[in-house]
A = this chain, B = another copy of it.
Amino acid sequence: MAVKYEFIKECKQTGARLGRVHTPHGVIDTPTFMPVGTQATVKAMAPNELKDLGAQIILSNTYHLYIRPGHKLVEKAGGLHGFMNWDRPILTDSGGFQVFSLNELRKIKEEGVEFKSHLDGTKHFFTPEYVMEIENSLGADIMMAFDECTPYPCDWDYAKNSMERTIRWLKRCKDAHKNTEKQALFGIVQGSTYKDLRIESARRTVEIELPGYAVGGLSVGEPKDLMNEVLEYTVPELPKDKPRYLMGVGSPDALLDGAIRGIDMFDCVLPTRIARNGTVMTSKGKLVVRNAEYAEDFLPMDEECDCYACKNFSRAYIRHLIKAGEILGGRLTSIHNLRFLQNLMANIRKAIAEDRLGDYREEFFIKYGYKK
């Protein structure tokens, strides 16, 4: 199998687990956060910077790469690793989320999803088999199955039918996946926010033996407590000897709450997206560095941070760069936010090792200004 989960220990205070995911391109310490490199680049970042700030794995988006520059071109370049010159692990999503988000531009059939490109309106048809072909060309260490991510809210009947189809598609994905030696296919649990559907989806997904499983369809607009509730009854259905990935989650509170509920892997565009707009996460909470109040503030964005941006530049300078539309502004805030989350994950791992992740969460929430 391309990917193996090594369990180290469980936090005695919570259900969080410390582990390692072994992949063809190296080891990932879990719980981990994966920066998102939608178009074969984590926005504003160079690979050497991602390494410097401690990223062990990144995520890239199948839909975007299929549309541009095309998976065949990426394959010719030696897969995503060669194309973007990233020699550490990569995970690709399946394009499902993007294709379903196209709304009036797509049509769902049992065979697959017909959709129009957001770039030029050309027609395309994604089937589980075709998505596997694309992901095999991209060559990521972990590839996600083609699923439907149901919106929130979503009625029970729709969620049930969609979940059933996602399972049928998962079987087709498994059959079509050509490179099991070097690429691990992960299945995705769906079922919206319905306990019966989630449990059924988890059980039937796990019946299909795969090297890892994800919880999808969350962080799509539902309240925070509801996400935690779903995790509480879904995660126990997942095998202990496989990595568990919560898709699309990247706010500090959700990372903590997900880890506490037994999640090993997370991803989200949030840290880089808000960074480019001038908002950063700091040890004392969010800071909108583009605001006028920082015009003459010569402190670093986060006094406790060890990133290149915080060690070398002031809030006043970064605010100036962002106000002036200078590229370096978004670069520095992106470096910071990604480093902030890497540090958060390292702290989470340390707290698990010390059996005190519950305490750490409480301390973090108070300092960050979250309600408990």
Q: Which residues of B contact A68 (CB under 8 A)?
A: 320, 323-324
List the one stretch of A109-117, A138-146, A325-333 in contact with chain B: A325-333
> Would you call A288 an interface residue if the criterion is a C-beta within 8 Å of the partner chain's C-beta atoms?
no
Complex Cα distance A313/B69, Å?
15
In the complex, the answer to whether A73 meets B43 with C-beta atoms within 8 Å is no
Contact B295 A326 (CB under 8 A): no
Are B317 and A77 interface neighbours, CB within 8 A? Answer: yes
* A170 CB–B CB distance under 8 Å: no
B46 near A320 with CB under 8 A, answer no
Distance in angstroms between the alpha carbons of A244 and B59 in the assembled complex: 51
Query: Which chain B residue has the least Cβ–Cβ distance from A325?
Result: B39
Nearest residue, chain B, Cβ from A42: B328
CA distance A40 to B316 in the complex (A): 12
Contact residue among B40, B73, B295 (Cβ-Cβ distance under 8 Å from A73): B295
Instruction: Kindly identify which residue among B69, B298, B326, B330 contacts A320, using a CB–CB cutoff of 8 Å.
Output: B69
Place the interface of chain A in its size category.
35 or more
Query: Are B326 and A76 in contact (CB-based, < 8 A)?
Result: no
Question: How far in angstroms is the closest Cβ of chain B from A55?
Answer: 15
A370 within 8 A of B: no
Establish whether residues A327 and B43, one from each chain, have CB atoms under 8 Å apart when the complex forms: yes
Q: Which residues of B contact A298 (CB under 8 A)?
A: 76-77
Do residues B327 and A327 form an inter-chain contact, with CB atoms below 8 A?
A: yes
Cα distance A77–B320 in the bound complex, in angstroms: 12
Interfacial chain B residues near A332, Cβ < 8 Å: 46
* Chain B residues with CB below 8 A from A314, complex form: 77, 83
Contact A41 B73 (CB under 8 A): no
Contacting residues, chain B, for A324 (C-beta < 8 A): 39, 68
Q: A295-B69, A298-B77 given as contacts; is B317 within 8 A of A40 (CB)? A: yes
Give bound CA distance, A43 to B327, whole Å.
7
A48 contacts chain B at the CB level, 8 A cutoff: yes
**Is A180 part of the contact surface with B, judged by Cβ < 8 Å?**
no
Q: From A47, which residue of chain B is reached at the shortest CB distance?
A: B312
Which residues of the partner chain B approach A307 to less than 8 Å between Cβ atoms? none
Select the residue from A43, A45, A331 with max chain B CB neighbours within 10 A.
A331
20 contacts between A and B (CB under 8 A): A39-B321, A40-B317, A40-B321, A41-B327, A41-B328, A43-B326, A44-B328, A45-B328, A46-B331, A47-B312, A69-B316, A69-B320, A73-B316, A76-B298, A77-B298, A77-B317, A83-B317, A85-B313, A327-B330, A331-B331
